[in-house]
Amino acid sequence: MSDDALEFGALGWPAAAEELERLQLALGRATPPEWSLPSPGAPPGRVAACFVCFGRGGGGPGAGGDRGWAGGATWLHGSIEASVCTTGEAGTAYDPGHLALREGPLLESAILTLPARPDVLLVNATGRDHPRRAGLALHLGAHLDLPSVGVTNRLLGASGAWPADEQWARSAFRLQEETVGYWVRTRRGTRPIAVHAGWRVDPDTALEIVVACIARARTPEPLRAARRAAREGRERSRTGGSSS
């Protein structure tokens, strides 16, 4: 475990925006050792993903105390190995740039419930595409001492044109001249996904990991499984079933 991970994991989850911003600035400046695949083109090992959803209805940014369902899944050797769902309360309303306040502990609970520790983590959030270079994908990785990658449908502050409409076409997106990730077109005729550098993972390695996890659909299989677990957990709660 790196010294940076020991430091950031011991800090817990901030409860206020000012505290979070100070931590994000420290995370954005940290220089932990980079993680890489065992060899070029090698499988990324056990890949976990996490996703949170909230109760249906209502509108706007939600509120602190909203009930949320966090799904987690692991993918190994080309198939889903395990999936889980946990439930808890959102810390705050949704606020871009402060997503950790709303979702951080929920996502952590899902990953810690998985039966095996992953090698790398996919998060439905940005990484270095963030005003303080530490979006939730990067923050969660540091908190759990796991290399991490963000996967989203849109950018937070970075900019970059979409790639050509060809499978596996890619184009960089940048924040203040720094390449912080790539758009990648995983299927012709569909919107590309944004792949974000995260904790200990540079943009090129992040892209390689995500491409290795694409199989039947536009988005990575472990993230699809985590999203499905979260939504199924919400549905069980709605119909009177149980959710851990």
| pLDDT score for 57 | 66
Rounded Cα–Cα distance for residues 216 and 213 (Å): 10
Sheet holding 148-152, edge to edge: 79-89, 67-76, 47-54, 120-123, 148-152, 193-197, 178-184, 170-175
Is 46 in contact with 118 (CB distance < 8 Å)? Answer: yes
Tokens representing 87 are 């439930």
Beta bridge partners of 183: 171, 194
More confident residue, 57 or 69: 69
Domains present along the chain, CATH in parentheses: 3-31+46-238 (3.30.2170.10)
Confidence of residue 238 (pLDDT cuts 50, 70, 90): confident
Q: Which two tokens stand for residue 136?
A: 């939730």
Helix (H) or strand (E) holding 102: helix 99-113
- How large is the average pLDDT for residues 166-173? 98
Q: What is the pLDDT of residues 126-156, one digit of tens each?
A: 999 999 999 999 999 999 999 999 999 999 9
pLDDT at 243 over 70: no
Identify the three-state secondary structure at position 191.
Answer: coil
* Dist. CA 103–CA 85, nearest whole Å: 14
φ, ψ dihedrals at 4, nearest 5°: -60, -45
3-class secondary structure, 160: coil
> Quick one: 6 exposed, middle or buried, by C-beta within 10 A (0-12, 13-18, 19+)?
exposed
